[in-house]
């Protein structure tokens, strides 16, 4: 039986913002568009390889569109996060799901990031850096105002938490 004050890995309660699905779809489309366009342009100009270059472009386009239709919705169902007075809980992934927990006493920095696409969708990412070899915990797809509030909340909690974060 866990002792008092023990932090346990458990499913986080909060979903990311619904707009994250659109943000992820645009990312998937852009990731697909660039190589498809390169293959198509090369196929248009390189006569001896035209057939296989255009076939590869078409296959990649089909796979990219299928992934764009499927994965963002799945990610939305899987990605979860939660902050308590004791820890930050995050679950991410698609095929390989990752569950992470960061006790407040281990948090070193809290950052918010808003790339151009995130800004367009009014989203932000909160990055919690810990004294862990695994690296920072990222909570992506949050409403930008919620992300700012979350960063402030984490700062307050970590300042009040005893420990050296190392």
Domain-located, residue 15: no
Number of domains in the chain: 2
Would you state the pLDDT for residue 162? 72
pLDDT 10s digits, 106-139: 899 999 999 999 999 999 999 999 888 888 999 9
Question: Which contacts qualify for 130-135: CB closer than 8 Å, 24 or more apart?
Answer: 130/102, 130/106, 130/165, 131/106, 131/165, 131/166, 132/102, 132/106, 134/100
Supply the mean pLDDT for the chain. 90
| Domain end position, chosen among 58, 75, 92 | 75
Would you state the pLDDT for residue 1? 46
pLDDT of 53 > 90? The answer is yes
| Domain end position, chosen among 75, 110, 145 | 75
- Identify whether residues 140 and 156 lie together within a single domain: yes
Domain-located, residue 130: yes
- Identify whether residues 54 and 105 lie together within a single domain: no
- Which span out of 2-16, 38-52, 87-101 was modeled with the highest average pLDDT? 38-52
pTM of the model: 0.84
Domain-located, residue 166: no
Contact yes or no for 123/102 (Cβ under 8 A): no
Q: Phi first, then psi: what are they for 6, rounded to 5°?
A: -75, 135
Contact yes or no for 10/89 (Cβ under 8 A): yes
Q: Give the residue from 115, 141, 116 showing the smallest Cα distance to 126.
A: 141
Domain-located, residue 4: no
- Identify whether residues 58 and 97 lie together within a single domain: no
| Domain end position, chosen among 75, 92, 108 | 75
Split at pLDDT 50, 70, 90, the class of 8 is low
Q: Which residues contact 126 (CB under 8 A, 6 or more apart)?
A: 110, 111, 112, 138, 139, 142, 147, 150, 151, 154
Would you state the pLDDT for residue 123? 98
Which H helix or E strand runs over 102? strand 98-103
pLDDT of 23 > 90? The answer is yes
Q: Which domain holds residue 32?
A: 20-75
pLDDT 10s digits, 54-92: 999 999 999 999 999 999 999 999 999 999 988 899 999
DSSP helix/strand/coil, 24: helix
Split at pLDDT 50, 70, 90, the class of 4 is low
How large is the average pLDDT for residues 151-164? 84
């Amino acid at each position: 039986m866990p002792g008092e004050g023990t932090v346990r890995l458990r499913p986080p309660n909060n979903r990311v913002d619904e707009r994250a699905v659109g943000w992820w779809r645009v990312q998937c489309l852009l990731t697909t568009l660039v190589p498809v366009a390169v293959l198509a342009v090369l196929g248009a100009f390189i006569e001896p390889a035209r057939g296989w270059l255009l076939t590869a472009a078409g296959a990649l386009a089909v796979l990219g569109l299928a992934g764009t239709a499927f994965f963002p919705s799945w990610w939305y169902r899987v990605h979860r996060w939660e902050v308590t007075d004791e820890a930050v809980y995050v679950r991410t992934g698609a095929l390989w799901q990752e569950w992470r927990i960061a006790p407040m006493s281990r948090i070193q920095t809290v950052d918010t990031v808003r790339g151009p696409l995130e800004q367009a969708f009014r989203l932000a990412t909160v990055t919690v850096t810990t004294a862990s070899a695994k690296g920072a915990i990222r909570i992506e797809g949050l409403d930008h105002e919620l992300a700012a509030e979350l960063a402030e909340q984490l700062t307050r909690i970590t300042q009040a938490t005893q420990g050296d974060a190392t």
